[in-house]
Structure 1
Amino acid sequence: MRLPPPEVVASWPPPNYINPETRGMALIAIEMIILPIALLVLALRLYVRVVLLQKPGWDDWLMLLAAIFGTGVTISVLLASTLFGWSLHIYDLPLSVLPPSRQVSLAAQSLFILATSLAKLSILLSYLRFAPLRSPFRRATYAVAALLVAANAAFLVLLFTQCTPLASYWTLEEGGHCVPEGPPLLAQAASTVFFDAAVWVLPLGTLARARLPARERVAVVGLFGAGAVVVAAAAVRTYWVWWVVEGTWDVTWEGFELWIWTAVEVHLGVICGEDGEVE
C-alpha cells in the first residue's frame, strides 16, 4: 500500500468519524441489478443444457464456477463498502477498519481473477463446439486458452507473494516486506483487456462465413455486441486501476469507481457466456 507523504496528510481536513461524506448507495444498487441478471442468464443456460438438451459440457461448469466467484466479488465489495469504509474518504477512515479492509481487498482481487479467467475460459471452450478440426481458429483458441491460464495463475501467485509475510499486506507493520502493488495490478488489468478482446475477436471470421438462420444470427450479433461492452468495461476499469494505484492518495473514495467497473466486467462476462442455445 502506498503511504501518502507528510505534506499530503497535512493537507487533509480533520477526520470525521461521526457523519462522514459517503459515496451513497450507487455501488450497492449496481451490484443488486447486474448480479441477478447474470445469475438468471446462467440458470437459463444450465436449464437448457442440463435439463432440456441433456448435454452439459465443461464450458457450462466453468461458467458456473465463474458465477460463484463473481458472486464472491459482489459480497466482498458490499461488505467493504458498508462496513470497512470503501465509500469514505481515506482521511475519514478509522484506522481500526484498515486491516479488515485490506483483507477484503485481497479476497476481492483473487476472486476477480478467478471469476474473469474462468468466464473467458468457458467461452473459449464453447468455441470448440463449432471450430473445425485442425483449423487456424481451433489452434488459436487453444493458444489463447493456454496463455490465459498461465497468465492468471502467475497473477494469483504474485498476489499472494507480494508481501512477506502475507499478513504484512493488511497489518502494514514494520518488519514485513512488500513489493509495490501498483505494477502487478496494472499488468493484470491490462491483460484482462487483451484477453477480453482476444475472446471477442477470435470467432468473428468463422461466424461471418457461417450460414445461420436469421434468428440465430441476430442472437450472435447481440452477444458479440455485449462482448464489445465487456472489452470497453475492462479498458475503463484499467484506467481506474491506474488512477487508484498511481494517481490519487484518496484510494477508498476514488476506488469506488473502480469497484463499479469491476462489477460490470465480472457479471457481463457471465452474461456474454450464454452461447445462443438459450434462444
Structure 2
Amino acid sequence: MLLDDNPRGRQAIDVSSAFTGIALITVLLRLYTRFFLVRCAGVEDYMVTLAMICSIGLTICIGIQAEYGMGRHIAELKPQDMRHTLKAFWASLIVYYLSLGLTKSSILLQYRRVFPTKKFRIACWATMGVVIAYTIWTVFGSIFACLPIRAFWTKEQPSKCINQFAMWFTNAAINIVTDFAIIILPMPVIRRLNLARRQKQALIGIFAVGGL
C-alpha cells in the first residue's frame, strides 16, 4: 500500500522517526561520555542501550503498520492488510513496554549512583520493584492478550482475548504514576543538600526537564 495515499500513516512515521532520531543521538552522546570521557560506565548505560534498540524496533513496527494501512479507515483495508498491521501492532506493544521498563530502570539505577543514602536506596528499590512487576505484566499481557496468540491478528474463533482497552488504559495509568514517582523521588534529597538556593533550584530544574 502506497504511503502517498495515506497521509496519516506518513505523519505517524515522520513523527516517530524524528523523536527516535533525537533519542538515538542523545543516547550515543551519553554512551560516548560514559565509556570514553569519564570511563565510568554502569549497568544503567547498558539498560538504556537496550531501551534504545527497543525504541527503534517500535518505530520499525509503526512503519510496517503504516505500510499496511494504519491511518486509513478500517473499511478501506483488505483482510490481509488488516492481519499484517495487527501483527505489527502486536509486536510494537512488546517492544514499547520493554523500552519503557528498561528506561525507567536505567533512571532508577542512575539515581542510586548519584544519591547513595540508605533511605533513598530503599525508595529506589521499592520503585524498581513496581517497575519490574509492571514491565513483566505488560510484556506477557501483550504477548498472551489472546489465546491462541495468533487470534490477536487473525480474529479467529474460537479464541479467548482479554479486554484490551481496559488493559491498555490500566497500563497507561500505572505508567503515568510510576513516571511521577520517578520524577518526584530525588526532590526531597536535593532540598536537603547543603547548596545555595539557586543551585538547588537549578538541580530541581534539570530533573524536571528530564521528567518532561
Question: Which one of 184, 188, 200 corresponds to residue 183 of structure 2?
Answer: 200
Point out the more displaced range, 176-185 or 140-149: 176-185
User: What do the CA deviations read for 1:48-82 (whole angstroms, capped 9, x no partner)?
Assistant: 1101111100111111111110111111112211x
Q: Tell me how far apart the structure 1 counterparts of residues 134 and 78 of structure 2 sit (CA, whole Å).
A: 36
Alpha-carbon distance in 2 for matches of 1:52, 1:215: 25
Moved more, 120-129 or 162-171: 162-171
In the alignment, the residues of structure 2 paired with residue 211 and residue 45 of structure 1 have an alpha-carbon distance, to the nearest angstrom, of 28
Question: Larger % of helix: which?
Answer: 2
TM-score by length of 2: 0.89
- Alpha carbons of structure 1 residues 215 and 205: separation in structure 2 relative to 1, 3 Å: closer
The residue correspondences of 1:95-114 to structure 2 (distance < 5 A) are 95-114=79-98
Distance of 1:148 and 1:194 partners within structure 2? 10
Answering whether residue 140 of structure 2 is matched by residue 157 of structure 1, we say yes
* Contact 2:101/2:132, CA 8 A, preserved across alignment: yes
Structure 2 residues not aligned, in runs of 5+ = none
The answer as to whether partners of 1:164 and 1:176 remain within 8 angstroms in 2 is yes
Greater length-normalized contact order (CA 8 Å, ≥ 6 residues apart): 1
> What is the match of residue 254 of structure 1?
none
- Give 3-state SS (helix, strand or coil) of 1:88's partner: coil
Question: 1:20: Cα distance to partner?
Answer: 6.3
Aligned positions of 1:249-264 closer than 5 A: none
> Please, what TM-score do these two structures have when normalized by structure 1?
0.69
**Unaligned segments of structure 1, at least 5 residues:** 1-16, 230-279
State percent identity of aligned pairs: 26
Q: Which amino acid aligns with 1:36?
A: G
- Number of residue pairs matched by the alignment: 209
Aligned to 1:77: 62
| CA separation of 1:215 and 1:149: change in aligned 2, threshold 3 A | same
In structure 2, do the counterparts of structure 1 residues 138 and 30 end up closer, same or farther at CA, with 3 Å as the change threshold? same
1:122 is matched with which residue?
106
Q: CA RMSD in A?
A: 2.3
Output aligned runs, 1:1-279, within 5 Å: 22-23=7-8, 25-81=10-66, 83-135=67-119, 137-211=120-194, 218=202, 221-227=205-211, 229=212
SS state at 1:87 partner: coil
CA 1:215–1:37: 2 relative to 1, 3 Å: farther
Per-residue deviation, 1:102: 1.0
Asked whether the equivalents of residues 22 and 89 of structure 1 are also in contact (C-alpha less than 8 Å), the reply is: no
Distance 1:50 1:80 in 2: 36
1:87 positional shift:
1.4
Q: Deviations over 1:125-144 (max 9, x none)?
A: 00001223322x22111100
